[in-house]
């Protein structure tokens, strides 16, 4: 039977959230370590059962220690899907689903901008101009076809909302899609289905799937040639799923209508890239407004996973072989900071609250107590 006697944590929470996290493990010793103090983290992990960490699994946690479970405080686990991590043979979990409601909103934001020709309307407003040429031909979302590729947390949240908009929804996932009877058709990769119907028939295609070696450059030159001439692509997943060069060419040559991109292959995106200035392309810099308390949603995932860990039940958001990605860069700018080999003295001089949010405490004693 699993037990938890010691927890070590590096997450960057405020006092309220840290106090709640600490009380998820009332039976255990709870130790805080700055994420950049690798030497102390390695030492504290030697006799710990659980590590709750800010970034991907760090090399300092892969040595001789008693860890049984590492919880990563972010959604994607590509950066932890490495041979040395799998060889550790312990549970590694993520926080997928914590931001799903607002990520679904972000998808709709892109779709609405395309429908309502936002750039043209704002330009007309700036000029005090009443009326925009061609506006009588614009169409809204109602009654149009949308393909959702990836029916995990984000895809399901999006499907719920687009159903309320009265859209015809088509969905693709590698695994069977349970429920969602309002979806017009479900395509299952493991059953031999492809995304071709979605490519050829949908007005909007939204990517909400994981980046793996299997999905890398899923949207390439061939995929864009199959899409409708006025189709709009939304990528809220990972940049590597879309071949940037192929997307640029498809837009330049009028093979598709437009794109909404929160993620791209190269981040930060070069300021001179032609996608920035294309009239039907909308770009946000890998940033989505937060749910009211994202950290609290992560804590609820950790709380449920603790229950499952102790009960010997399958855990949520568990690292798996399919998370491997060897085709390119696996770390975002955030992950590069949290797993940096930069000397801790140098990291301490950075404005960490600016990058990671306000903590509002300096001494763990401010929150490290039991109710």
Q: What is the CATH number of domain 6-98+292-366?
A: 3.40.50.720
What's the order of all strands across the beta sheet hosting 50-53?
29-32, 6-9, 50-53, 69-72, 91-93
Q: Mean pLDDT by 10-residue block, N- to C-terminus, for the chain (371 residues)?
A: 94 96 98 96 98 94 97 88 95 88 95 97 96 95 98 95 98 96 98 98 96 93 98 96 98 98 94 98 88 82 96 94 71 61 85 87 96 93
pLDDT of residue 36: 93
Instruction: Report the half-sphere exposure of 144 (CA within 13 A, side-chain side).
Output: 18
Task: Indicate the domain borders of the chain.
Answer: 6-98+292-366, 100-283
Tell me the sheet residues that pair with 185: 170
CA 63 from chain centre, in angstroms, equals 28
DSSP sequence for 162-201:
HHHTT-EEEEEESS---S-TTSSEEEEGGGT--SHHHHHH
pTM for this model (two decimals)? 0.78
Q: Tell me whether residue 185 is one of the annotated catalytic residues.
A: no
Rounded Cα distance between 54 and 355, Å, is: 13
Nearest residue to 222 via CA among 255, 186, 267: 255
- In this prediction, residue 78 carries a pLDDT of 84
Any catalytic annotation for residue 238? yes
286 C-beta neighbours (distance < 10 Å), count:
18
According to the model, what pLDDT value does residue 140 have? Answer: 98
d(CA 281, CA 252): 11
Residue that is written with structure tokens 């690292």 in the block: 319
Q: Where are the beta strands (DSSP E) in the chain?
A: 6-9, 29-32, 50-53, 69-72, 91-93, 145-149, 168-173, 185-188, 204-207, 232-235, 258-261, 281-283
- Are 283 and 276 in contact by the 8 Å Cβ rule? The answer is yes
* pLDDT at position 184: 98
Catalytic residue among 266, 267, 313, 348: 267
Is there a shared CATH topology between the 6-98+292-366 domain and the 100-283 domain? Answer: yes
Domain range 100-283, CATH class: alpha beta
Catalytic residue, candidates 74, 82, 144, 286? 286
267 in catalytic set: yes
At residue 126, φ and ψ (nearest 5 deg) are: -60, -30
* 8 Å CB contact between 56 and 80: yes
In angstroms, rounded to a whole number, what is the distance separating the alpha carbons of residues 332 and 336? 6
Q: Which of 238, 255, 265, 324 is catalytic?
A: 238
């Amino acid at each position: 039977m699993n037990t938890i006697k010691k927890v070590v944590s590096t997450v960057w929470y405020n006092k309220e959230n840290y106090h709640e996290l600490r009380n998820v493990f009332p039976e255990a010793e709870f130790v805080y370590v700055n994420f950049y103090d690798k030497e102390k983290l390695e030492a504290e992990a030697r006799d710990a059962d659980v590590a709750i960490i800010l970034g991907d699994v760090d090399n300092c946690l892969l040595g001789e220690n008693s860890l049984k479970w590492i919880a990563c405080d972010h959604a994607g686990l590509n950066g932890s899907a490495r041979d040395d991590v799998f060889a550790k043979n312990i549970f590694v979990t993520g926080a997928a689903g914590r931001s799903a409601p607002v990520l679904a909103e972000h998808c709709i934001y892109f779709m609405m901008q395309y429908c309502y020709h936002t750039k043209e309307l704002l330009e007309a407003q700036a000029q005090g101009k009443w009326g925009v040429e061609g506006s009588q031909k614009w169409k809204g979302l109602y009654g149009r076809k949308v393909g959702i590729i990836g029916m995990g947390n984000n895809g399901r949240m999006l499907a719920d909302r687009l159903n309320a908009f009265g859209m015809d929804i088509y969905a693709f996932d590698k695994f069977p899609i349970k429920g969602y009877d309002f979806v017009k058709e479900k395509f299952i990769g493991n059953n031999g289905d492809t995304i071709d119907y979605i490519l050829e028939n949908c007005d909007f295609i939204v990517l909400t799937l994981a980046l793996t070696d299997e999905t890398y450059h899923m949207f390439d030159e061939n995929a864009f040639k199959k899409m409708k001439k006025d189709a709009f692509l939304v990528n809220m997943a990972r940049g590597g799923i879309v071949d940037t060069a192929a997307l640029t060419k498809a837009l330049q040559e009028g093979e598709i209508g437009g794109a909404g991109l929160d993620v791209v292959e190269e981040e930060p995106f070069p300021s001179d890239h032609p996608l920035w200035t294309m009239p039907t392309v909308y770009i946000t810099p890998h940033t989505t407004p937060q749910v009211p308390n994202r950290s609290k949603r992560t804590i609820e995932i950790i709380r449920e996973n603790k229950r499952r860990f102790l009960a010997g039940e399958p855990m949520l958001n568990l690292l798996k072989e399919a998370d491997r990605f060897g085709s390119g860069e696996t770390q975002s700018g955030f992950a590069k900071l949290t797993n940096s080999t930069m000397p801790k003295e140098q990291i301490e001089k950075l404005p960490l609250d600016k990058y990671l949010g306000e903590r509002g405490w300096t001494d763990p004693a401010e929150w490290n107590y039991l109710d």
